[in-house]
Amino acid sequence: MKLTVAALVAVLTAACAGPEIRGPFRNQYIDVDTGKPIQGVVFLAVWEKVYPTVTGDGGRYFYEAREAVSGPDGRVEIPAVSPLNSIFTLEVTFHAFGAGYGYADDNVLVTPPSGKAYIDPTVTRMRRLPSREERCQFLRHLSSPSVPENTLRIPKYLAVTHGESDALRCGSL
Protein backbone atom coordinates (compact mmCIF):
# COMPACT_ATOMS: atom_id res chain seq x y z
CA MET A 1 0.00 0.00 0.00
CA LYS A 2 2.82 2.44 0.89
CA LEU A 3 4.51 1.74 -2.45
CA THR A 4 1.26 2.38 -4.37
CA VAL A 5 0.66 5.73 -2.66
CA ALA A 6 4.29 6.78 -3.20
CA ALA A 7 4.09 5.77 -6.87
CA LEU A 8 0.82 7.70 -7.34
CA VAL A 9 2.32 10.83 -5.76
CA ALA A 10 5.42 10.52 -7.97
CA VAL A 11 3.29 10.15 -11.12
CA LEU A 12 1.06 13.10 -10.21
CA THR A 13 4.03 15.28 -9.40
CA ALA A 14 5.80 14.31 -12.62
CA ALA A 15 2.65 14.95 -14.65
CA CYS A 16 2.40 18.45 -13.27
CA ALA A 17 6.09 19.16 -13.31
CA GLY A 18 7.39 21.31 -16.06
CA PRO A 19 9.66 24.24 -16.53
CA GLU A 20 8.79 26.63 -13.76
CA ILE A 21 9.21 30.21 -14.75
CA ARG A 22 10.01 32.37 -11.75
CA GLY A 23 11.82 35.26 -13.45
CA PRO A 24 13.38 37.72 -13.55
CA PHE A 25 11.52 39.09 -16.58
CA ARG A 26 12.82 41.93 -18.72
CA ASN A 27 11.26 43.80 -21.59
CA GLN A 28 11.57 46.99 -23.60
CA TYR A 29 8.57 48.82 -25.06
CA ILE A 30 9.03 50.56 -28.40
CA ASP A 31 6.58 52.69 -30.40
CA VAL A 32 6.12 50.76 -33.65
CA ASP A 33 5.70 53.93 -35.75
CA THR A 34 8.47 56.12 -34.33
CA GLY A 35 10.91 53.48 -33.09
CA LYS A 36 11.26 55.41 -29.81
CA PRO A 37 11.04 53.87 -26.32
CA ILE A 38 7.74 54.16 -24.47
CA GLN A 39 7.89 55.34 -20.87
CA GLY A 40 5.13 54.49 -18.38
CA VAL A 41 4.04 51.04 -19.60
CA VAL A 42 2.98 48.86 -16.68
CA PHE A 43 4.28 45.29 -17.06
CA LEU A 44 2.59 42.71 -14.84
CA ALA A 45 3.44 39.07 -14.08
CA VAL A 46 0.86 36.86 -12.35
CA TRP A 47 1.88 33.46 -10.98
CA GLU A 48 -0.54 30.66 -10.23
CA LYS A 49 0.15 27.50 -8.22
CA VAL A 50 -0.75 24.39 -10.17
CA TYR A 51 -1.33 21.36 -7.98
CA PRO A 52 -1.27 17.81 -9.29
CA THR A 53 -4.69 16.15 -9.42
CA VAL A 54 -5.90 12.65 -10.16
CA THR A 55 -7.32 13.79 -13.51
CA GLY A 56 -4.01 15.39 -14.43
CA ASP A 57 -5.42 18.84 -15.21
CA GLY A 58 -4.16 20.45 -12.00
CA GLY A 59 -5.89 22.80 -9.62
CA ARG A 60 -4.98 26.46 -10.07
CA TYR A 61 -4.70 29.07 -7.35
CA PHE A 62 -3.31 32.59 -7.24
CA TYR A 63 0.23 32.73 -5.85
CA GLU A 64 1.83 36.13 -6.53
CA ALA A 65 1.66 39.20 -8.75
CA ARG A 66 4.40 41.73 -9.41
CA GLU A 67 4.45 44.82 -11.57
CA ALA A 68 6.97 47.33 -12.85
CA VAL A 69 6.77 50.52 -14.92
CA SER A 70 8.99 51.22 -17.93
CA GLY A 71 11.47 54.06 -17.63
CA PRO A 72 12.59 56.67 -20.18
CA ASP A 73 14.45 53.98 -22.15
CA GLY A 74 11.26 51.86 -22.33
CA ARG A 75 12.88 49.12 -20.25
CA VAL A 76 11.25 47.29 -17.39
CA GLU A 77 12.19 44.40 -15.09
CA ILE A 78 10.18 42.22 -12.70
CA PRO A 79 12.27 40.37 -10.11
CA ALA A 80 11.98 36.61 -9.70
CA VAL A 81 9.76 35.03 -7.09
CA SER A 82 11.42 32.88 -4.44
CA PRO A 83 11.73 29.16 -5.12
CA LEU A 84 9.57 26.92 -2.96
CA ASN A 85 9.84 23.28 -2.03
CA SER A 86 6.35 21.97 -2.60
CA ILE A 87 4.35 19.61 -4.74
CA PHE A 88 2.95 22.42 -6.86
CA THR A 89 4.54 24.13 -9.84
CA LEU A 90 4.17 27.75 -10.84
CA GLU A 91 2.87 29.07 -14.13
CA VAL A 92 3.04 32.71 -15.11
CA THR A 93 0.95 34.97 -17.35
CA PHE A 94 1.86 38.48 -18.45
CA HIS A 95 -0.14 41.66 -18.92
CA ALA A 96 0.96 45.11 -20.03
CA PHE A 97 -0.73 48.44 -20.51
CA GLY A 98 0.51 51.81 -21.67
CA ALA A 99 -1.93 54.74 -21.73
CA GLY A 100 -2.83 55.54 -25.33
CA TYR A 101 -1.23 52.39 -26.74
CA GLY A 102 -2.38 49.04 -28.08
CA TYR A 103 -0.40 46.09 -29.31
CA ALA A 104 1.07 45.98 -32.80
CA ASP A 105 0.15 42.91 -34.87
CA ASP A 106 3.60 41.40 -34.35
CA ASN A 107 4.08 42.85 -30.89
CA VAL A 108 6.69 40.64 -29.16
CA LEU A 109 10.13 40.28 -30.71
CA VAL A 110 12.56 37.92 -29.01
CA THR A 111 16.28 37.77 -29.75
CA PRO A 112 17.50 35.10 -30.40
CA PRO A 113 14.47 33.76 -32.30
CA SER A 114 14.63 30.46 -30.39
CA GLY A 115 14.59 32.30 -27.06
CA LYS A 116 11.88 32.74 -24.47
CA ALA A 117 9.94 35.98 -24.26
CA TYR A 118 10.86 38.18 -21.29
CA ILE A 119 13.72 35.88 -20.25
CA ASP A 120 15.90 36.41 -23.32
CA PRO A 121 16.23 39.98 -24.67
CA THR A 122 12.68 40.97 -25.60
CA VAL A 123 11.11 44.00 -27.27
CA THR A 124 7.37 44.64 -27.34
CA ARG A 125 6.23 46.90 -30.13
CA MET A 126 3.15 48.97 -29.36
CA ARG A 127 1.07 51.20 -31.59
CA ARG A 128 -0.42 54.51 -30.49
CA LEU A 129 -4.20 54.38 -30.73
CA PRO A 130 -5.28 57.73 -32.15
CA SER A 131 -9.00 57.83 -31.39
CA ARG A 132 -10.97 57.70 -28.16
CA GLU A 133 -13.09 54.88 -29.58
CA GLU A 134 -10.04 52.72 -30.36
CA ARG A 135 -8.57 53.35 -26.93
CA CYS A 136 -11.84 52.51 -25.12
CA GLN A 137 -12.30 49.39 -27.26
CA PHE A 138 -8.76 48.24 -26.43
CA LEU A 139 -9.40 48.81 -22.71
CA ARG A 140 -12.59 46.74 -22.87
CA HIS A 141 -10.76 43.84 -24.53
CA LEU A 142 -7.77 43.69 -22.20
CA SER A 143 -7.47 40.31 -20.58
CA SER A 144 -8.13 40.64 -16.86
CA PRO A 145 -5.30 39.55 -14.58
CA SER A 146 -6.30 36.60 -12.41
CA VAL A 147 -5.49 38.46 -9.21
CA PRO A 148 -7.90 38.45 -6.25
CA GLU A 149 -9.84 41.71 -6.13
CA ASN A 150 -8.88 42.37 -2.53
CA THR A 151 -5.16 42.27 -3.26
CA LEU A 152 -3.00 45.36 -3.26
CA ARG A 153 -0.35 43.74 -5.42
CA ILE A 154 -1.14 45.53 -8.68
CA PRO A 155 -1.91 49.18 -7.81
CA LYS A 156 0.02 50.65 -10.76
CA TYR A 157 -1.71 48.42 -13.33
CA LEU A 158 -5.14 49.23 -11.90
CA ALA A 159 -4.35 52.94 -11.63
CA VAL A 160 -3.21 53.29 -15.24
CA THR A 161 -6.03 51.19 -16.78
CA HIS A 162 -8.78 52.79 -14.67
CA GLY A 163 -7.20 56.24 -15.03
CA GLU A 164 -7.20 55.90 -18.81
CA SER A 165 -10.82 54.70 -18.79
CA ASP A 166 -11.90 57.57 -16.53
CA ALA A 167 -10.00 60.21 -18.55
CA LEU A 168 -11.61 58.97 -21.78
CA ARG A 169 -15.00 58.45 -20.10
CA CYS A 170 -15.16 54.88 -21.44
CA GLY A 171 -17.56 53.66 -18.73
CA SER A 172 -16.86 50.78 -16.40
CA LEU A 173 -14.37 48.17 -17.52
CA dist., res. 11 & res. 93, Å (int): 26
What stretches of 3-121 adopt beta strand conformation (E)?
25-31, 42-51, 59-69, 75-78, 89-97, 101-110
Position 44 in a domain: yes
Number of domains in the chain: 1
pLDDT tens, position by position, 105-125? 778 888 888 888 999 989 999
- Average model confidence (pLDDT) for the chain? 81
Tell me the residue range of the domain where 110 lies: 2-168
pLDDT tens, position by position, 67-78? 999 999 999 999
Position 102 in a domain: yes
Q: What is the mean pLDDT of residues 83-94?
A: 79
pLDDT value of residue 51: 80
pLDDT at 10 over 50: no
What DSSP string describes 133-169? HHHHHHHHTSPPP---TT--S-HHHHHHHHHHHHHHT
Instruction: Give the confidence band of 13 by pLDDT, cuts at 50, 70, 90.
Output: very low
Position 93 in a domain: yes
Q: What is the pTM of this model?
A: 0.80
**Residue among 5, 163, 13 nearest 89 (CA):** 13
Position 33 in a domain: yes
What phi and psi values does residue 63 have, to the nearest 5 degrees?
Answer: -120, -55
Q: What percent of the chain has pLDDT over 90?
A: 42
pLDDT value of residue 115: 87
Position 131 in a domain: yes
CA dist., res. 48 & res. 124, Å (int): 23
Q: Per residue in 154-172, is it b (16+ CB within 10 Å) or e — as a string?
A: beebbebbeebbeebebee
Position 113 in a domain: yes
Position 173 in a domain: no
Position 111 in a domain: yes
